[in-house]
Amino acid sequence: MNDPFLNFKKSMKKNVFKDLSFTEERKARVNEVIQSRHSSSTLQSFKEETVLSILQSLQLEAKHGFEISTRLFQKKEHSFLHNEGQLYTLLHLLEKKEILSHKWDEEKKYYSLTAKGKKYLKAAQKGYSKQPLLLKELLEEASL
């Protein structure tokens, strides 16, 4: 396919953006600011109960995102209603902190609990008094 804007793009690069450049340091700082804003906004939108529901849904077997979403809706957990993308953001944050791991199978990404994730879930199921603190710390860690 031909890009109908190819000549326009070339012209913009030559004329408008020719003197515009960013150092690698500046690019890195911009990326840091974007990441920090993204992390702080997602942290506020996730509840401890939501994290527990996700961990519980993965207790017996690995599931892909749509299965997790379906399970949450069945449990009347509507945090991601009309914003399913936030579920994937949370799953990625939990992966980053090694609470979840993933495996690709037939073009689907299956999530499962790690040993650390099982620890959080076990503590929640036994009703440890420190569990709300653990989940709050988990959410804070995940947002870093």
| Block mean pLDDT (10 aa), the chain, length 144 | 74 74 79 64 62 89 91 82 81 88 92 91 70 60 54
Q: What is the pTM of this model?
A: 0.60
- pLDDT value, residue 43: 44
The pLDDT assigned to 114 comes to: 94
The domain 48-144: what is its CATH number? 1.10.10.10
Q: What is the pLDDT of residues 55-68, one digit of tens each?
A: 999 999 999 998 99
pLDDT at site 38? 54
Q: What is the pLDDT of residue 137?
A: 66
Task: Please state the domain extents for the chain.
Answer: 48-144
pLDDT at 9: 75
| Angle 15-19-22 from CA coordinates, rounded to 5° | 130
